[in-house]
Structure 1
Amino acid sequence: MGSGDSQGGHILTGPVHVRGAEPGDVLEMRILDCVPRPSANPDFAGKSFGSNAAAWWGYHYNDMLGGAKREVITIYQVDATGDKSWAEAVCNFKWVPQTDPFGVTHPTIDHPGMPVDHALTDRNYDVLKGIRIPIRPHFGTLGVAPAEADFVDSVPPSYTGGNVDNWRIGKGAIMYYPVSVEGALRSVGDPHASQGDSELCGTAIECSLTATSQLILHKKADLAGTSLEEMDHPMLETQTEWVVHGFSVPNCLGALGATAQADIYGKSSVDDAMRDAFRKMRKFLMTTKG
Structure 2
Amino acid sequence: MAWLRSDPSLEELVEAYPDEWQQVQRDVGALIERDDAQEITAYITRVSRPQAPLPGRTRSAKERLSTELRRQMTVHLLKQAILSSTTGVSEGRIRFNLVNGFVAQKLLFRRDLERKPVSLWQFRVVWPLLSQRRLLMPLVQKKGIWCFYSRPLINRLADLIGDRSCLEIAAGDGTLSRFLADAGVRVTATDDYSWSDSITFPDTVLKQDARTALRIHQPEVVICSWPPADNPFEQHVFTTASVQQYIVIGSRHEASTGNWAAYRQQNGFDLQHDERLSKLVLPPEVDHAVYVFTRTAG
| TM-score scaled by length of structure 1 | 0.25
Kindly indicate whether structure 1 or structure 2 has the higher relative contact order, using CA contacts under 8 Å at least 6 residues apart: 1
Greater per-residue helix proportion: 2
| TM-score scaled by length of structure 2 | 0.24
